[in-house]
Amino acid sequence: MIPEWLTTLAAAGSAALVNAASTDVWQAARERFARLLGRGDPDRTEAATRRLDDLRRVVREPGNERELAEARRAWRLRLQDLLEESPDAAEELRSAIAELPPPRPASAAAIRQDNRAYDHGTVNAVVNGDLTVHPARPVGSDG
């Protein structure tokens, strides 16, 4: 049974990797994780590189939240397997995570919001921005 801290580390690695797949640091992250997963074996490194390329394709497709969640789960399991087989890889994984940008907040496209006002009511809502409130105009006024 894998210790809880290794499971947490694998989850952090998965989140960081999936996030990095849509950033400018992808090539460096791809190479680093391919080496980490390959553990010096060229065949394993090649297989990891193919999986990482598949991840990049998934991340670049718009509106695929389900596939992204599945990718995070799959990479968490891969990293857990790696840490279970090679506990000494934990420090290298920590180092790889530290070099990646922090996860971004959920995109506006991923946030579904439904705001409604009835009978001349007011709704104020903000997602990642500032709220500006303008004075209410009397009903029936033009301006």
Model confidence at 71, in pLDDT bands (50, 70, 90)?
Answer: very high
Inter-residue contact 101 to 21 (CB < 8 Å)? no
Put simply, whether the predicted model's pTM sits higher than 0.85 gets the answer no
3-state secondary structure the chain: CCCHHHHHHHHHHHHHHHHHCCCCCHHHHHHHHHHHHHCCCHHHHHHHHHHHHHHHHHHHCCCCHHHHHHHHHHHHHHHHHHHHHCHHHHHHHHHHHHCCCCCCCCCHHHCCCCCCCCCCCCCCCCCCCCCCCCCCCCCCCCC
Of the pLDDT bands very low, low, confident and very high (cuts 50, 70, 90), residue 63 is confident
pLDDT digits (tens, 9 = 90+) for 16-30: 999 999 898 999 999
Question: How many Cβ atoms are within 10 Å of 67's Cβ, its own excluded?
Answer: 13
Greater confidence (2 vs 21) lies with: 21
More confident residue, 42 or 142: 42
The better pLDDT of the pair 102, 90 is held by 90
pLDDT level of residue 36 (50, 70, 90 thresholds): very high
Q: What is the mean pLDDT of the chain?
A: 82
pLDDT above 50: residue 108: no
Is the distance from CB of 113 to CB of 125 less than 8 angstroms?
yes
Sign, CA torsion 71/73/74/78? positive
